[in-house]
Amino acid sequence: MSRVNELLEKINSLKNSHVKKLVDTRIEEFKQNGGKASREIFRELCFCILTANFNAERSIEIQRKIGDGFLTLPIPQLMEELKALGHRYPERRAQYIVEARRYADSLKDIISRFKDASLLREWLAKNIKGIGFKEASHFLRNIGYLDLAIVDFHIINILSKYGLIDRPKTMTRNRYLEIESILRKVANRLDITLAELDLFLWYLETGKVLK
């Protein structure tokens, strides 16, 4: 059995286990997020800004505790909150979040203008500091866009482990898109979306289904 087929079998096994229900529940939450007001969607953007080079679970807890502070706190106070809650880069993330507030009330309208999720991702990565392709893909997945890949180190670990990619030394835009294309082929073989594949792969790597 090739290593790729081994990976496919593991994911198919998860599709027939209790993990499938966890994944389905999370996907439904993502779809519901997309229907929320612009400021609530902005808070999800802030979460994705926090996750860059930082732990997702701790970012979830920080997002829960700060809440509307993402919309109201000045940089020094937001920085202190992030620092107190253990974020690795409190000053830089506070700056990014406060700067991104210019879009807090218009974010939903901006999103609605794009018919192509890939172009929307490009816009986010170009216009919002702290948001690259990975973070933009994460944000869009979390508001219901299910056909973009979140290429983080967990995913790279699995793909390299099963011989689908060589571990990249740097992550350029073109390399990101190449890896996304590989993931899309895997998802197609499994008859699932990229969003579902991401959650199954995350479970294989961490034993958890997070957002």
Distances (CA, A) of 194 to 155, 162, 184, 186, 191: 12, 18, 6, 9, 10
Distances (CA, A) of 196 to 42, 91, 180, 182: 23, 34, 14, 15
Cα angle: 9, vertex 202, 196; to 5 degrees: 70
**Spatial distance between the Cα atoms of 128 and 46, rounded to a whole number of angstroms:** 11
Catalytic residues: 134, 152
Q: How many helices (H) and strands (E) does the chain have?
A: 13, 0
